[in-house]
Amino acid sequence: MSARRQMIPVKSPDDVARMREACRIVAATTKEVLRLARPGVTTGALDACAARLISAAGATPTFKGYRGFPGSICVSINDELIHGIPGPRVICPGDIVSVDIGVTYRGMIGDMARTVCVGAVPGDVAALVAGVREALEGACRMLRAGICVGDLSHALQGYADAHGYGVVRDYVGHGVGAALHEPPQIPNFGARGSGMVIPAGATLAIEPMFTLGDYRVRVLGDKWTVVTHDGAPCAHYENTVLVTDGGCEVLTVDPA
């Protein structure tokens, strides 16, 4: 691989302006989709809601058709981690529902995921759902230009280890911008001081994926849906962030 391909892309002010709008749209869409995620509603209905809102905002759903993905968004429930295909499945009380949405606006992409509890769930499951968010927030507090990717990875893994969560290894966070997946890869596990140095102006999709069991996952026969190998519940939380000299700015802020 050439050195050029390994570089972390730095965004221009115009790139960042378009990413801000993409991220605003993806956050507003996510809010409405999560509002709809109630018992009796199908995952297909969530998909239709997202498609309508994204189109109305003058943007396109990034995942639709990506490597042949059939949905506009990914909806993954309970032991499904990521890449669930929306369809006839009905959301039930006690489910944990993960919604992952990408939006392309004038050529730039925002990528975001949230996991929510539908009704009452066991305490350890609720803690896991809160935990992926806490882990990401902790990683963002130490993110600034000049740290290494491994510093972020180490912080995310440290949270999971401290709480006894499985850390999924087969899927990782990533740079995002003009393409959905740009350098660097951002594993949720790793050693402090390892990996590429992150420059100011980098835009990253950081996405902890933790389980209540083992770290291993497998892909279902639909060729997309990733589930935990042992059937344990799992949670996923993702923000697109802009790295600055003094810190980072979350671009996919949950609307009030």
The SS3 of residue 100 is: strand
For residue 18, the 8-state DSSP code is H
CA dihedral 28, 97, 129, 112 (to 10 degrees): -30
Chain residues in the site for Mg ion (CB under 5 A): 111, 205
Minimum gap (Å) between residue 120 Cβ and Mg ion: 29
Minimum gap (Å) between residue 218 Cβ and Mg ion: 19
- 51 versus 205: smaller Cβ distance to Mg ion: 205
* End-to-end Cα distance, the chain: 43
Minimum gap (Å) between residue 88 Cβ and Mg ion: 25
User: Which CA distances in Å does 191 have to 98, 111, 136, 164?
Assistant: 28, 25, 17, 18
* Whether 43 contacts 99, CB under 8 Å: no
- 47 versus 111: smaller Cβ distance to Mg ion: 111
- 143 versus 205: smaller Cβ distance to Mg ion: 205
> What is the DSSP track for 31-54?
HHHHHH--TT-BHHHHHHHHHHHH
Minimum gap (Å) between residue 191 Cβ and Mg ion: 22
Minimum gap (Å) between residue 111 Cβ and Mg ion: 4
Tokens of 26: 């993806």
CA dihedral 112, 127, 47, 77 (to 10 degrees): 130
* 43-56 and 13-36 helices, crossing angle to 10°: 140
- 21 versus 111: smaller Cβ distance to Mg ion: 111
- 63 versus 121: smaller Cβ distance to Mg ion: 63
Minimum gap (Å) between residue 119 Cβ and Mg ion: 27
- 33 versus 205: smaller Cβ distance to Mg ion: 205
